[in-house]
Amino acid sequence: MCRFLHWGFGTAVAVVCAALTSLGCSSSGGSVGGMGGSTGGFAAGGAAGHVSGGSGGAAGGVAGRAAGGAAGGQGGTSGSRGGSTGSGGSAGSGGSAGSGGNAAVGGRAGAGGRAGAGGASGTSGRGGSAGTGQSDAGVGTDAANLPGTNNPVLSGLNADPQIALFDNTYYLYPTTDGFANWQSTSFSVFSSTNLVQWTSRGVILDVPKDLTWATGHAWAPSIARVGATYYFYFCADQQIGVATGSSPMGPFKDALGHPLVTTSQFGTQSIDPNVFIDDNGTPYLSFGSGSSGLRLVKLNADMISFTGTPTNISPSGASGTIEGSVLFKRNGTYYLQWSEGDTRTANYQVAYARAQAPTGPFTRLGVILQEDATLGILATGGNTVLAIPGRDETYMIYHRFKIPGGDGTHREVCIDRMYFNSDGTIVPVKPTLPGLQTAVIP
């Protein structure tokens, strides 16, 4: 979030060396895929895709293959991306006259929807009638292939994405972009069941309305769930706050009535909070931006307070503005990612370090996400990381300049696959224009 703010007290230069590189001179603040449980089950987002698709999106109801007859043909049109909510698609005509094939099953849920109920049994080889789906925007994820240009994943201008996975649904919590000097005033959430197609769930925290201590500069949020409560950490007017709610889709209410961390309270810019919950249930909050680096503090059990002074975890070998820290753990090793440079410049990038403890010491190992000017992809940063539970499968969620014509306040959110070498080092992520081409079911 290295933001050069032109407001009351003057120009603020921020740099946040972020564990999962958040963002650059604007609101940075990615974080490891939302801590769903003690280890931070990575969350994920919304339902149907933002791209409008074919008219009969078979939402959940198996407009996938209706199994009527021996060679039951395709039951209904397969859910086209982001199509209007379909009622499962029309029944497919079966193949050879089977004896009333099996009932058409309701396929996997369309992006964001629940699986549709299976249709009635087919007669004489006709596939049963399509099940009635309950998706948000009909896309049958039965068809795992979702070809197309899937980056950016969210409609509109957004940055500093925080991803989380709660109860088999992905959620994205970004900074709303498109304002001069990053003067956004609210936070919104998006949800998905396949990581490709997302649905906006609306505003979850309105800064001037819901807070008494800030009016704007709503940046780089992070979220975790402990028990039945969701804890939403955020920046507002260069201070860090925390709000609570009973749903990942809000609404969230200010938990303290005052900032958790005040402006420059611990020697670094008080922005880009990132919450990380270790395997043993210990919660940590990292934050910071600028040449003064990153800070990490252990949260108390109530998740809305801490004791003592945050530790400086800035990695050796890093220089200049660092921000948007992200901390996560893989195979017993702690990874810290952060964004380097100014979010308004094309060479804004993500670097990382590793350590055997969440407090480090960390040493910069190299850049893992950077611009690809040949594709028009610039200023890649403000990232967060999603690890699919039970699988060695990881994704990086980040922002870039809007294509075309973007800049440091006109950015968009993208997702690409992230890989590790056999020794645990990270293979540099290649930013792409197509993005993910297959559904990723939790």
Given 160, 177, 237, 340, the catalytic residue: 160
Q: How many CA atoms lie within 13 A of 302 on its CB side?
A: 9
Given 210, 323, 342, 416, the catalytic residue: 323
Q: Is 160 a catalytic residue?
A: yes
Q: Is 206 a catalytic residue?
A: no
Q: Which residues are CB-contacts of 183 (< 8 A; sequence separation ≥ 6)?
A: 216, 217
Please write down the HEC assignment for all residues of the chain.
Answer: CCCCCCECCECCCCCCECCCCCCCCCCCCCEECCECCCCCCCCCEECCCCCCCCCCECCCCCCCECCCCCCCCECCCCCCCCCCECCCCCCCCCCCCCCCCCCCCCCCCCCCCECCCCCCCCCCCCCCCCCCCECCCCCCCCCCECCCCCCCCCCCCEEEEEEEEECCEEEEEEEECCCHHHCCCEEEEEEECCCCCCEEEEEEEEHHHHCCCCCCCCEEEEEEEECCEEEEEEEECCEEEEEEECCCCCCCEECCCCCCECCCCCCCCCCCCEEEECCCCCEEEEECEECCCCEEEEECCCCCCECCCCEECCCECCCCCEEEEEEEEECCEEEEEEEECCCCCCCCEEEEEEECCCCCCCEEEEEEECCEHHHCECCCEEEEEEECCCCCCEEEEEEEECCCCCECCEEEEEEEEEEECCCCCEECCCCCCCCCCECCCC
The residues annotated with a catalytic role in the active site are 160, 323
